[in-house]
Chains A and B, each alone.
Chain A
């Protein structure tokens, strides 16, 4: 079965510092990995995805994520955090033909960026 783990419920970062939000996954076969962000009282917004190719994926708002097959991880990163990045971040995984190809979401990580 597919699963996603986001080991940190909350990440606190000072504005201007680099940020990392962690995600590990478990699938049978090649993974398809996604990051979404949810601002208060809003729906989830797509940030980036890894399907194949370069292990470093660039997405919206200056975010990037690195796919590491040996560590089964897909951590979200940003070189310099902004206060406006404060939100709830979800990692999700899908695998070809597994469970109808649907996405499995992690529990979410609350990112707080302080001035």
Chain B
């Protein structure tokens, strides 16, 4: 299996522009997670899906952020409009899902490094 695939790997954009990050989870995985990593705040869970349904979006910073999972093999994280403080590395991860009420092991993609000027 190719693992979790993220695109683009790097994105440089100007403040106010729309940014769309993409993720393809591992085939057969039922849960998908979006994380953000910065030096100041470490690794933060933004949102996660189970069977394509958003379960917990309490980590989404504000209305400028939105995430969708139209099918089991694709998810997007959109920032509109983008701001310099959104600069971070965004990771997507997937897992087999819940087993006994606890998430199975998560497998991470390589990340998208976003720089908003």
In angstroms, how far is the closest chain B Cβ from the Cβ of A80?
A: 26
Verify if B105 is at the interface (C-beta below 8 Å from A): yes
Q: Which residue of B lies closest to A97 (CB)?
A: B101
The answer for the CA separation of A102 and B102 in the assembled complex, in Å, is: 7
Judge whether A43 and B42 touch: CB under 8 Å: no
Verify if B56 is at the interface (C-beta below 8 Å from A): yes
The answer for the CA separation of A45 and B111 in the assembled complex, in Å, is: 12
The answer for the CA separation of A4 and B88 in the assembled complex, in Å, is: 22
Judge whether A32 and B102 touch: CB under 8 Å: yes
Taking CB atoms and an 8 Å cut-off, the chain A residues in 48-104 that contact chain B are: 49, 51, 90, 94-97, 99-103
Taking CB atoms and an 8 Å cut-off, the chain B residues in 89-115 that contact chain A are: 91, 93, 98, 100-103, 105-111
Number of B residues contacting the other chain (C-beta, 8 Å)? 22
Verify if A44 is at the interface (C-beta below 8 Å from B): yes
Inter-chain contact total with CB atoms closer than 8 Å: 53
The answer for the CA separation of A46 and B109 in the assembled complex, in Å, is: 12
Q: Which residue of A lies closest to B103 (CB)?
A: A101
Verify if A26 is at the interface (C-beta below 8 Å from B): no
In angstroms, how far is the closest chain A Cβ from the Cβ of B108?
A: 4
Judge whether A102 and B45 touch: CB under 8 Å: yes
CB pairs A–B below 8 angstroms (30 shown): A32-B102, A36-B108, A42-B110, A42-B111, A43-B4, A43-B91, A43-B109, A43-B110, A43-B111, A44-B43, A44-B91, A44-B93, A44-B108, A46-B105, A46-B106, A94-B103, A96-B100, A96-B102, A97-B102, A100-B55, A101-B102, A101-B103, A102-B45, A102-B48, A102-B103, A103-B45, A103-B106, A105-B42, A105-B43, A105-B45
Interface residues of B (CB under 8 A from A): 4, 33, 42-43, 45, 48, 55-56, 91, 93, 98, 100-103, 105-111
Interface residues of A (CB under 8 A from B): 32, 34, 36, 42-46, 49, 51, 90, 94-97, 99-103, 105, 107-108
Q: Which 4 A-B pairs have the closest CB atoms?
A: A43-B108, A96-B101, A97-B101, A44-B108
